Structure 1
């Protein structure tokens, strides 16, 4: 990482830590811990195991982004996605660092570099497009809640948001060629210096993938399903903590949390930003702010439990080729 990039990340991290201190100070540490502990060991274990299902969905989104890969490799792609998220959430990298870790997890298992990085860019672009649809749904629902005084009868307006989300989905499926231009531009931003893949070669691979409309559409739909499953996991955690909310309300909240996290991409793990966002948005969907911030901490604990083993395994796989080379 270049020095001129480290300073903005360090400064952003300090801002994030300040936001975390502010959010925890507003809630109170003891009350926050009590709210998180309502989940219990069994509930937390269930939450972690269920989260592996989300990893499987996101792994499928990446798998279908690389046409020709057999279904039996979904475990490999899911592991690469888990390592990618672990690096984003736990290591002092920007989001690009996590992308590199995920791609190296695949190339380290013998997948071709150019195709792997092209599929990563396709997966990233479809993830971004599906997030737009999901965030649009959240904005519609949040706006309706604020206008109607947070009353439960506004649920039908959630269906309007859902309809717009489906419309965005259909538009993406039929406008894939413009997405190719976005993918090429994105590749120039996320392709690491050490990837040993030329941008021209990557452009060829991207063009080949985008000609396969069904593959890109499937990647989009799997990523969209991933956002919905992530919201369902949050709803599960809230129910286990004794604060059940309708799924559409949790989905609205989570869509905006994810959008804010994406905007704070310079801050490793969006530390502090996520907690402050939960604190500020919780009451708009009828959630106790204390429980909302506790949910954020539970999700971070889950990220540690799942991310650390994935990164350790990845590091072990990274060391194997170097050892083999040294023996010769």
Structure 2
């Protein structure tokens, strides 16, 4: 008699991974619904009118500011691996920083999806997989840390204002910053801890699944003698702290330039009574609200709600606040779409080079 083999039920861990896979898609749907609701419940004509007043020149200025912001972030990323035994020039980091941002803002992935792809693409320039992964981990830590510092500056300015709404928002932001500080500290200690070696094999296994077959050698390089933990030790060496500090300064300057985008939009719309301090507060707190909803790709809907909430503190009506948020999304499309095309071009070229010869 032949026994019938019954397949075992799927493991809970597998179900958990599937749920996490669909989380960004769910976030996209919820965010899109929130964005539609915000527009539908406010005067659509006022949103259209405010956005129209920005004009082509104003939108072009906002796009140029975003180019400057991402360029500074790209150069900051390059500082992480500067003078190490890598073959990538600064231009590679600059190009891939645009790709990272394009993926994060336009595709239904978590806010770190573009960073993972950016680390992979960096290996196309001959950077070992261990150093590419280490550079992404360190750059993300610096990026989030400087963004938290920028939010703290905004909160300090907000606390100078009078009113219960300002005080409540400042208190919420301070609590969020406290949580962020704990997470950043844990992330830094994890990078410096031997525990990193314990998860390295698992990371390499996931890397093999993520990389194409022809790139398995790049994934295998992550399990060398030193591995990612050894690369992190090299990056965090005390003699390299001045270079890392340069990256911190460049990132902080980039977040400051993000406030200039708001100033350009409000000036073109003819909004009065909003000075430099107010612009910094709006940018800082809207970034904090957007970061708090990181599972929602590009903060869809959340960003708009944040602008409505924070803009109301300075007498900015909801229609104008939503138009301001939409203006901030114009660079996402103008720069993001070419970045996605560039990403696919790089992948196609890599596949062509690595393809086995026919015959």
Structure 1's consecutive aligned runs of 4 or more residues displaced over 3 angstroms after TM superposition are 146-150, 176-180, 182-192
Unmatched 5+ stretches in structure 2 = 1-15, 167-180, 209-218
Task: Please state if 1:7 is matched with 2:33.
Answer: no
Q: Which moved more, 1:267-276 or 1:215-224?
A: 215-224
Q: What SS does the aligned partner of 1:65 have?
A: helix
Please give the root-mean-square deviation of Cα atoms over the aligned residues, in Å: 3.1
What is the deviation of 1:228? 0.7
Shift of 1:184: 5.3
Q: Is it true that 1:18 corresponds to 2:33 in the alignment?
A: yes
The structure-2 alpha-carbon separation of the partners of 1:179 and 1:91, relative to structure 1 and needing over 3 Å to count, comes to closer
**Structure-2 change in CA distance of 1:11 and 1:146 (3 Å):** farther
Paired position in structure 2 for 1:84 = 100
TM-score for both structures, normalised by structure 1: 0.83
For structure 1, list consecutive stretches of 5 or more residues without a partner in the other structure.
151-171
Q: Which has the larger radius of gyration?
A: 2
SS of residue paired to 2:109: coil
Alignment correspondent of 1:157:
none
Please name the residue that 1:208 is paired with.
234
Q: Work out which of the residue numbers 169, 186, 189 in structure 2 matches 1:181.
A: 189
Aligned to 1:237: 265
Paired residue for 1:320, among 349, 355, 358?
349
- What is the rounded CA distance, in whole Å, between the counterparts of 1:299 and 1:316 in structure 2? 27
Change over 3 Å in CA distance of 1:183–1:228 after alignment to 2: farther
CA distance in 2, matches of 1:67, 1:57: 15
Q: How many residues align?
A: 305
1:59 maps to 74
TM-score calculated relative to the size of structure 2: 0.76
What residue number does 2:297 align with? 268
Q: CA deviation at 1:6?
A: 2.8
- What's 2:10 paired with? none
Alignment of 1:90-239 (within 5 A): 90-147=106-163, 180-183=188-191, 193-194=206-207, 196=219, 197-198=222-223, 201-211=227-237, 212-239=240-267
CA contact (8 A) 1:16 1:272 kept: yes
